């Protein structure tokens, strides 16, 4: 299979009607914080046990087409001795890998950050492929302030995303392109729209320069929402209208799927906002889907509490959120389903 055929096969498996992506690629500090919230120590064994439990959820493949993994997860095994990427692959779920190496301040652009990890990326991807990964994910972060993101921040972060995507496609990996505009702050929904439009314009200009095949990427952006300290909350319909308006301006129709990140929203908010987009904009040129981490896993973590005897309840909690987001993919979710779906 040549590289283009490999990319097309992977994107076909990742972008499926009614399904989305589970982000289980939390870095060591991030998963430690989430475990601490339920008073569980973040040991390698606890991480292996928890993630293996999630991936073994019966019926997960009904609503999840792909899972983003952290590097250590590629080499871990289930309780039955099967490699965790293989657990997913046998369900028809595509395993992928987070490949960026974290943020650092961007020089001469106060308040902006840039992600590291391009050095040696091609060689790492070759190893990850032998371990079962078929796609990759890279995240750049954009804070919103009166001065951020700066023009330099927009340019540099877009360049990093494009260089990463080009390397991925050269190695036969579908790149998830994640420009996350942070929800932190008291900015309005109008300011969020302004920044997200500028970010995406810069990102697609850079992808074009680097000759990235847009038909073989997944975009993982933020929704257009007010900052979480803003005094006025936006309704799902307002979020949907503002988001799709911006994306129609700057995201080419060649992109097969937009899998939104939850970015600090509650599980219920993330589901309701996605549902409103699919309910109101059935003619959108892309799939409008999800790639949630905490918004899928939060109920599962609360059910687990680090106890093996809670495995069934943990899996049921994950399955329920996946089911609800699957309904949101078609605009068929309703808040009443939160309490009625799995009584």
Reduce the secondary structure of 57-119 to three states and give it as a string: CCCHHHCEEEEEECHHHHHCECCCCCEHHHHHHHCCCEEEEECCCCEEECCCCCCCEEECCCC
Name the catalytic one among 98, 113, 137, 220: 220
d(CA 224, CA 288): 14
d(CA 319, CA 336): 17
* Tokens linked to 13: 């498996």
Say if strands 103-105 and 113-115 run parallel, antiparallel, or are unpaired: antiparallel
Is 123 marked active-site?
Answer: no
Is 228 marked active-site?
Answer: no
DSSP notation for 185-226:
SS--HHHHHHHHHHHHHHHHHHHHHTT--GGG-EE-------
Name the catalytic one among 6, 159, 171, 178: 178
Q: What is the CA radius of gyration of the chain?
A: 19
* Tokens linked to 218: 């997944």
Report, as residue numbers or ranges, the catalytic residues.
178, 220
């Amino acid at each position: 299979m040549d590289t283009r055929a490999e990319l097309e096969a992977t994107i076909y498996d990742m972008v499926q009607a009614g399904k989305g992506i589970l982000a289980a690629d939390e870095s060591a500090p991030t998963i430690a914080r989430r475990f601490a919230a339920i008073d569980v120590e973040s040991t390698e064994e606890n991480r292996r046990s928890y993630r293996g439990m999630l991936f073994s959820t019966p019926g997960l493949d009904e609503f999840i087409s792909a899972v983003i993994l952290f590097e250590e997860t590629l080499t871990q095994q289930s309780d039955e001795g099967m490699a965790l990427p293989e657990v997913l692959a046998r369900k028809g779920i595509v395993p992928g890998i987070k490949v960026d190496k974290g943020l650092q301040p961007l020089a001469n652009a106060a308040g902006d950050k840039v992600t590291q990890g391009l050095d040696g990326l091609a060689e790492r991807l070759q190893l990850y492929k032998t371990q079962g990964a078929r796609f990759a994910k890279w995240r750049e972060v954009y804070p919103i302030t009166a001065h951020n993101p700066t023009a330099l921040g927009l340019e540099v972060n877009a360049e990093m995303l494009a260089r990463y995507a080009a390397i991925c496609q050269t190695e036969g990996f579908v790149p998830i392109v994640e420009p996350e505009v942070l929800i932190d702050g008291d900015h309005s929904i109008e300011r969020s729209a302004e920044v997200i439009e500028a970010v995406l314009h810069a990102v697609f200009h850079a992808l074009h320069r680097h000759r990235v095949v847009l038909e073989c990427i997944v975009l993982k952006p933020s929704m257009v929402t007010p900052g979480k300290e803003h005094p006025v909350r936006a309704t799902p319909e307002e979020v949907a209208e503002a988001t799709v308006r911006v994306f129609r301006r700057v995201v080419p129709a060649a992109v097969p799927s937009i899998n939104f990140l939850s970015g600090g929203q509650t599980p219920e908010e993330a589901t309701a906002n996605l549902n409103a987009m699919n309910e109101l904009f059935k003619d959108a040129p892309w799939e409008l889907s999800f790639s949630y981490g905490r918004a899928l896993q939060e109920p599962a973590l609360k059910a687990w509490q680090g106890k093996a005897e809670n495995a069934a309840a943990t899996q049921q909690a994950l399955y329920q959120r996946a089911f609800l987001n699957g309904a949101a993919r078609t605009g068929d979710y309703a808040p009443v389903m939160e309490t009625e779906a799995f009584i």
